[in-house]
Chains A and B, each alone.
Chain A
Amino acid sequence: MSTSATAAPVRADAPSGGVRNWKNPILLSVLALLALLVFALGAPANDVTFRLSDPGDALALPELVLSAPLIGWITALGMLALAAFVVARTRRGEPAPRWLLAAFAVLFLIGFLTWVVGSARTPNVALYGLLAGSVTLAVPLIFGSLSGVLCERSGVVNIAIEGQLLFGAFAAAVAASLSGSAIVGLLAAAVAGVMVSLVLAVFSIRYLVNQVIVGVVLNVLVSGLTGFLFSAVLSEDSETWNSPPQLPVLSIPGLSEIPILGPILFEQTIVGYLMYLAVAVVYVALYHSRWGLRTRAVGEHPKAADTLGVNVNRMRFTNVLLAGVVAGVGGSFFTLVLVSGFGRDMTAGQGYIALAALIFGRWNPIGAFFAALLFGFATNLSNVLSLLGTPVPDQFLRMLPYVVTIFAVAGLVGRSRAPAASGIPYVKG
């Protein structure tokens, strides 16, 4: 499938032993110069207001009013300094440290945000809403990429995340409408995710069909099936079939009043809380449990795992089914939280984005979590900005999340390495 399995795994942050990798210094320099031109020299001459809390909150924070040119110059010069530092280090043959790349990204983000909001018709943005909305948009992505982590870490490529999400969304809507209970919908979504996973597992593990093929075809199958049932059944009588009750928002008293973080962490639906739980559980289980060790062994070197008595294919089978549960629950977010009802192809490629988040996050649950958050942020930012009325054409704003992902995958993360056995069926003997 990918070169990552075959090409020498050159890690961008590893000491490269004389081979100088000029990719990062060049990229950083170009971005820093761009920042100088746009954020500093092209800064709008007004102040930018960031609202940090809702005026109705118990703990109201004051508004943050910043001068756009000042912030523009500070961030641009900061980035130039960091870029120069990286260039100097690369000259000496030392790679750029991780923290420096992170600092650069943060500076760029601050500079960009100040510039773009400052240039808008109304240079005033609710930062708390921007962040909370980002998390909301990221929830299905996080579930999806966790599903990918579970599969790929055990050696099965999961392109079918999109199908799992979509079928989960569909099942949640139908089951919740028929039963009148959103919780039943949530359970049905998990079952639906498992059903998609079951097909993936049977075809890729038992019949050794190319996993990417099964995944892609499953996505088409689910899209066709749900689309067909939507027009044949759901839209004929949407009162019975497609009016699911919504999951209530459970806010934890006190904690949810914390500015900015409160709504993000403590004012979620049950799916939102499950998301945080799932990230933590998958992370701990993967790196600190016997099951996790075996999963990773099966994904990296199935033969060795087999020699030590691990049943490789059973391990993979259960992992793929578990991934179905996770992605299915994520799918329920679409119909039980975001919108009240199923719509044709409503996941709109989110499963593929989750796949990108998984790779961007280097097949690590925490990494995938932050990658998905970044994507949610970029999407929400483009939504908010198009409301504010910026000079940037709407279409470019909508490209933003995708362009960010391309830059992230091609530039900053460097060569990502998939689990070695990912995508390769295991035949004993």
Chain B
Amino acid sequence: MSVQESQPVAGSPTVMHRVMTGNALVAVLAVVMSLILGGLLIALTDPDVASAASYFFSRPQDTLAAAWSAASGAYLALFQGSIFNFEGETFTRMIYPLTQTLTVATPLICAGLGVALAFRAGLFNIGAQGQILIGATFAGWVGFTLDLPAGIHLLLVILAGMLGGALWAGLVGVLKARTGAHEVILTIMLNYVAVNLVLYFLSTPAFQRPGSTNPISPQLDATALYPPLLGPEFRLHWGFVVAVLATVFVWWLLNRSTVGFEFRAVGANASAARTAGISVSKGYILAMAIAGALAGLAGVAQVSGTEKVLTSGVAASFGFDAITVALLGRSSPWGTFAAGLLFGAFRAGGVTMQASTGTSIDIVLVVQSLIVLFIAAPPLVRSLFRLPVPGAFPAPKSAKDRTSAATGGTA
């Protein structure tokens, strides 16, 4: 994706130097900086801060104290809602937030993997939202219509969800390969079509809950649901394990299989891949279909794990968040997994934060997007914190040029 990180380190760097130039430090600093900026935003819009600021010049410490309490209060609630609730009375209550994070992370990881996989094949898949919806529709229909024994039913639900997503995304692959239509446009348009299609289905007798006039399906059969992973007191379900397996699968596919090699070749340079005898069309279609199947898994996680019914809002905004997840994970399977966990924590904690401190959950979007922006531009973070540039040890020429450009930008 980005070209900066490929400089070979010449000379013999010390451990300190390696830490200072590593990606991990940049990632940590990016998160910290984004949280600080988000905190500033919370403080600036806080009514207590505003009232204290009216007498800022006589007692500035009041303003600062109000700002600190506004921002820290919000972030504390965020932490309490996503990792560990130290005010909980029982152990179950204490770790409940962490399981919530994992529950929310499940669809994010699955759909994020889909976006990441397509990205590696050179396709920008903005259509995870629609793919989740169609996957959830297929899975939901199997879940509440068919009457099957436990085990087989769930398996069929999962397969149906993957099939739905794969068909919806595969359509994009086919159109792109056959007509050259731009996949960004196709996926965006199909998102809208998917929402309306699901709304239409939910108005037909085959999908609508009997006796209801709202666009909502019947509850899925118990046999079609993911069983709870840690017991009935938590919402965390086996879908999370499926997400882990999906991550392993995508890692294997991309790094160890011929198909994955072809995807990466097509993504890196389609003309070269074609010359080397790789079918670019096949690559596009297959990559989109697998990406859709992964998004479909996210739909299954929603419809047969968290929500247990099909509505047109079953995908929430997971399909769009999945794009940022994949970007933050730099389109690598485990990076996407980690990014999915982080964003899951933000989202789960954001709900608690909004409820307890009244800070709008939108702040989470701000922090998330700032993180992705900063991580995507390591030179910016390095120049802000005056970190050494990788490869600048005896400094190859090109890296030196870039350093001057980077520092020039912030000076």
Interface residues of A in 367-402 (CB under 8 A from B): 393, 395-396, 398-399, 402
Interface residues of B in 375-411 (CB under 8 A from A): 376-377, 379-380, 401, 405-406, 409
Residues on A with C-beta less than 8 A from B379 are 207
- Are A207 and B1 closer than 8 Å at their CB atoms? no
Please tell me if A16 contacts chain B, counting CB pairs below 8 Å. no
- Are B182 and A395 closer than 8 Å at their CB atoms? no
Please tell me if B190 contacts chain A, counting CB pairs below 8 Å. yes
Most chain B CB inside 10 Å of its own CB: which residue of A7, A217, A356: A217
Residues on A with C-beta less than 8 A from B327 are 213, 216-217
Please tell me if A355 contacts chain B, counting CB pairs below 8 Å. yes
Give the docked Cα–Cα distance between A203 and B46 (Å): 30
Residues on B with C-beta less than 8 A from A46 are none
- Are A213 and B179 closer than 8 Å at their CB atoms? no
Interface string of B275-299 (1 = CB under 8 A from A): 0000010001000000000000000
Interface residues of B in 178-227 (CB under 8 A from A): 178-186, 188-190, 192-193, 196-197, 199-200, 203
- Are A233 and B45 closer than 8 Å at their CB atoms? yes
Residues on A with C-beta less than 8 A from B359 are 232
- Are B181 and A213 closer than 8 Å at their CB atoms? no
Residues on B with C-beta less than 8 A from A414 are 179-180
The chain B residue with its CB closest to the CB of A2 is: B182
Across the interface, B192 reaches (CB within 8 A) one of A224, A225, A233, A402, namely A402
Across the interface, A217 reaches (CB within 8 A) one of B183, B372, B409, namely B372
- Are B197 and A207 closer than 8 Å at their CB atoms? no
Interface string of A385-425 (1 = CB under 8 A from B): 00000000101101100110110011100111000000000
- Known contacts A3-B270, A213-B372, A220-B369; decide if A395 and B197 are in contact (CB<8 Å): yes
Residues on A with C-beta less than 8 A from B373 are 199, 203, 209, 214, 217-218, 221
* Shortest CB distance A181–B (Å): 25
Give the docked Cα–Cα distance between A16 and B133 (Å): 40
Interface string of A225-254 (1 = CB under 8 A from B): 101111111001000000000000000000
Residues on B with C-beta less than 8 A from A409 are 181-182, 185-186, 189
Please tell me if A65 contacts chain B, counting CB pairs below 8 Å. no
Give the docked Cα–Cα distance between A405 and B182 (Å): 11
Residues on B with C-beta less than 8 A from A349 are 188, 192
Main secondary structure of the interface of A (DSSP, over half): helix
The chain B residue with its CB closest to the CB of A403 is: B193
Please tell me if A212 contacts chain B, counting CB pairs below 8 Å. yes
Please tell me if A352 contacts chain B, counting CB pairs below 8 Å. yes
The chain A residue with its CB closest to the CB of B327 is: A213
* Shortest CB distance B93–A (Å): 28
Give the docked Cα–Cα distance between A231 and B376 (Å): 29
Residues on B with C-beta less than 8 A from A398 are 196
Residues on B with C-beta less than 8 A from A255 are none
- Are A220 and B320 closer than 8 Å at their CB atoms? yes
- Are A207 and B377 closer than 8 Å at their CB atoms? yes
How many A residues, CB 8 Å from partner?
Answer: 59
Give the docked Cα–Cα distance between A123 and B307 (Å): 43
Across the interface, A3 reaches (CB within 8 A) one of B47, B180, B362, namely B180
Interface residues of B in 246-296 (CB under 8 A from A): 269-271, 280, 284
Give the docked Cα–Cα distance between A321 and B370 (Å): 21
Please tell me if A121 contacts chain B, counting CB pairs below 8 Å. no
Please tell me if B176 contacts chain A, counting CB pairs below 8 Å. yes
- Are B376 and A396 closer than 8 Å at their CB atoms? no
Give the docked Cα–Cα distance between A227 and B323 (Å): 19
Residues on B with C-beta less than 8 A from A210 are 1-2, 376
Please tell me if B363 contacts chain A, counting CB pairs below 8 Å. yes
Residues on A with C-beta less than 8 A from B360 are 227-228, 231-232
- Are A395 and B199 closer than 8 Å at their CB atoms? yes
- Are B203 and A393 closer than 8 Å at their CB atoms? yes
Please tell me if B27 contacts chain A, counting CB pairs below 8 Å. no
* Shortest CB distance A271–B (Å): 25
- Are B180 and A220 closer than 8 Å at their CB atoms? no
Interface string of A196-218 (1 = CB under 8 A from B): 00010011001111101110111
Residues on A with C-beta less than 8 A from B230 are none
- Are A227 and B197 closer than 8 Å at their CB atoms? no
- Are A356 and B188 closer than 8 Å at their CB atoms? yes
Residues on A with C-beta less than 8 A from B184 are 2, 159, 355
Give the docked Cα–Cα distance between A291 and B130 (Å): 41
Please tell me if A6 contacts chain B, counting CB pairs below 8 Å. yes
Across the interface, A203 reaches (CB within 8 A) one of B126, B181, B376, namely B376
Please tell me if B3 contacts chain A, counting CB pairs below 8 Å. yes
Please tell me if B356 contacts chain A, counting CB pairs below 8 Å. no
- Are B376 and A224 closer than 8 Å at their CB atoms? no
- Are A406 and B190 closer than 8 Å at their CB atoms? yes
* Shortest CB distance B310–A (Å): 15
Give the docked Cα–Cα distance between A210 and B267 (Å): 14
Residues on B with C-beta less than 8 A from A314 are none
Interface residues of B in 1-34 (CB under 8 A from A): 1-4
Across the interface, B366 reaches (CB within 8 A) one of A225, A399, A416, namely A225
* Shortest CB distance B41–A (Å): 7
- Are B180 and A228 closer than 8 Å at their CB atoms? no
Residues on A with C-beta less than 8 A from B271 are 6-7
- Known contacts A223-B365, A228-B45, A356-B185; decide if A395 and B324 are in contact (CB<8 Å): no
Across the interface, B189 reaches (CB within 8 A) one of A207, A208, A228, A356, namely A356
- Are A227 and B324 closer than 8 Å at their CB atoms? no
Please tell me if B122 contacts chain A, counting CB pairs below 8 Å. yes
- Are A405 and B189 closer than 8 Å at their CB atoms? yes
Please tell me if A19 contacts chain B, counting CB pairs below 8 Å. no
Give the docked Cα–Cα distance between A159 and B320 (Å): 14
Across the interface, B188 reaches (CB within 8 A) one of A230, A352, A393, A399, namely A352
Please tell me if A98 contacts chain B, counting CB pairs below 8 Å. no
Q: A208-B2, A216-B323, A409-B189 are in contact. List 5 more A-B contacts (CB 8 A).
A: A220-B368, A231-B360, A232-B359, A393-B203, A409-B181
Q: List 11 A-B contacts (CB under 8 A).
A: A3-B280, A209-B376, A217-B376, A221-B373, A228-B362, A232-B45, A232-B46, A233-B45, A236-B47, A410-B179, A411-B179
A interface with B by C-beta (< 8 Å): 1-4, 6-7, 10, 23, 159, 199, 202-203, 206-210, 212-214, 216-218, 220-221, 223-225, 227-233, 236, 349, 352-353, 355-356, 359-360, 393, 395-396, 398-399, 402-403, 405-406, 409-411, 414-416, 429
B interface with A by C-beta (< 8 Å): 1-4, 41, 45-47, 122, 124, 126, 175-176, 178-186, 188-190, 192-193, 196-197, 199-200, 203, 269-271, 280, 284, 320, 323-324, 327, 359-360, 362-366, 368-370, 372-373, 376-377, 379-380, 401, 405-406, 409
6 A-B pairs with least C-beta separation: A224-B365, A227-B362, A415-B180, A395-B200, A221-B369, A228-B362
